[in-house]
Chains A and B, each alone.
Chain A
Amino acid sequence: MTEEIIIAGFGGQGVLSMGKILAYSGLVQGKEVSWIPSYGPEQRGGTANVTVILSDERISSPVLNTYDTAITLNQPSLDRFENLVKPGGTLIFDGNGLSKMPSRKDINIYQINATEYSIAHNVTKAMNMIILGGLLKVKPIIEVDNVLLGLKKTLPERHHHLLPMNEQAIKAGMELIQVFTV
């Protein structure tokens, strides 16, 4: 099993940390992992993205041209990465503020309105965990228990009181995600 994932959005949406949690979860589950952030100008306002690979085998290139799964949290990311999903792959997008919806017919597309939900329920800081929950629902690559362990490893101890809130956000995301029909 090899799963090549790109997560993209605005800086501040928790894209890099979501990737990190995914990578740590993969580590807990005994997988080979790689995590590459965009560390360039994007990080300083604009779009940020992170490539995460989880695999049962040694990972050759951490740099990729196409992805099994793309997760996009804004319009520029959707525009760029929808086209880079492998045929038969998966696209998960947040519908917030989009003027142009995805249109490919050869991939599986899911919509998750995590931004809207997180504002309504006053959990904006856990928005990325809602998305992660959605991913785990449609692609159960990592067991939820291992994700929670991964989360614990990523969060500094002073934030550990936030773990239950994050767990709830993951569960909410699993409920929230739905198939998007082009």
Chain B
Amino acid sequence: MKKDSEEIMLMKGNEAIAHAAIRCGCDGYFGYPITPQSEVMETLMELEPWNTTGMVVLQAESEVASINMVYGAAGCGKKAMTSSSSPGVSLMQEGISYMAGAELPGVIVNVMRGGPGLGTIQPSQADYFQAVKGGGHGDYKMPTLAPASVQEMADLTVLAFDLAFKYRTPTMLLADGIIGQMMEKVVLPPYQSRLTEDEIRVKCPWATLGKPHGKKPNYITSLELLSEDMENLNKRLQARYRILEKEEVRFEEIACEDADYVFVAFGISARVCQKAVEIARSEGIKAGLLRPITLYPFPVEKIKELSNRVKGFISVELSAGQMVEDVRLAVNGKVPVEFYGRMGGVVPSPNEAFNALKDKLIQ
């Protein structure tokens, strides 16, 4: 990505999201505070973008209100977003399904904490299923991006908006408490102007901006009472998802070229596993790491290809084992796929991940 001034800054992942949103021309943020992501709205309030780019920042009365404000803004062709953490994102699921059904773009940030229920405020990755398998009802898919550094919190916020508008779909940035709370170096993305009303008319043909004379009105709805029409909407969505699956898969490979064993991990788990790879290599074990950056679309083909030449995979997650199911589907029984995870806000250490590799795959 082309950077603006290349100024290196030190900030939290949550703060980087706020900066990136303003810089990529976001029109509105609507949210409700919850640990561990409250700094997103705090930073926006501090930066007061309404005085510079004109971006609206609003603390809504609830998460349900926030997601529906995003829905409304998207219906007008605006770049809108919300952010929350696990329990708050559960509240948004209805709105997300409606956005998918109404073919509306928007960005939802989930800085995950331990669940179920109100859970804990400590980091977790247990909302993987909710994000990639459709937490709301109906046959929809949601592009889901998994940042593993503060730099990616900024970069993937920009990408999330691009994908949302390219495919007219709600798009999720799925981070965890550590990536949100940790400080690292970051170079912020360059400024892009917010779209003008005229530009929105051209780029967002669905936008309800008032009906000019002689033009058919735009309807924003996810309701089609005729089954055939509803099936056609579904077909349109599915066709779009197939393109997404072909065009938008993103991942990072670390030391996979000659690897016998491959960790599969995203977010903070991927950082932990990167160190586990270093430990393994120092002990003469050829380990590698495949880090999915897009959780949906999942890097199925890459894993298939690796499964032809490695002896086994181990998925390391802050959950009871969710992404591991997708790894197993991709590997399709060719080699063993093991799992190691911690739950409820506990983050495994690199040694734990390395020991799991040894115990479960190598013996």
Contacts and interface: CB of A to CB of B under 8 A. Distances in A.
B351 A61 contact: no
A24 B345 contact: no
A112 B276 CA distance: 35
B272 to A, nearest CB: 5
B302 to A, nearest CB: 21
B57 interface: no
B345 A40 contact: yes
A61 B10 CA distance: 17
A13 to B, nearest CB: 19
Interface string B264-275: 000010011111
A62 B182 contact: yes
Contact of A33 (B185, B273, B277, B350): B185
A39 B183 CA distance: 13
A144 interface: no
B121 A39 contact: yes
24 contacts: A23-B10, A23-B183, A24-B10, A27-B8, A27-B10, A32-B185, A33-B10, A35-B183, A36-B182, A36-B183, A39-B121, A39-B177, A40-B121, A59-B184, A60-B274, A60-B350, A61-B272, A61-B350, A62-B182, A62-B271, A63-B268, A63-B271, A63-B350, A64-B349
Interface residues of A, number: 20
Contact of B122 (A23, A32, A40, A64): A40
Question: What's the interface size class on B, roughly?
Answer: 20 to 34
B274 A61 contact: yes
Interface in B35-74: 35-36
A57 B348 CA distance: 23
A63 B352 CA distance: 11
A60 B182 contact: no
Contacts of A63: 178, 268, 271-272, 347-350
Given A34-B183, A37-B181, A39-B181, A65 B122 contact: no
A102 to B, nearest CB: 22
Interface in A26-56: 27, 32-37, 39-41
A37 B178 CA distance: 9
A87 to B, nearest CB: 15
Contacts of B121: 39-41
Contacts of B120: 40
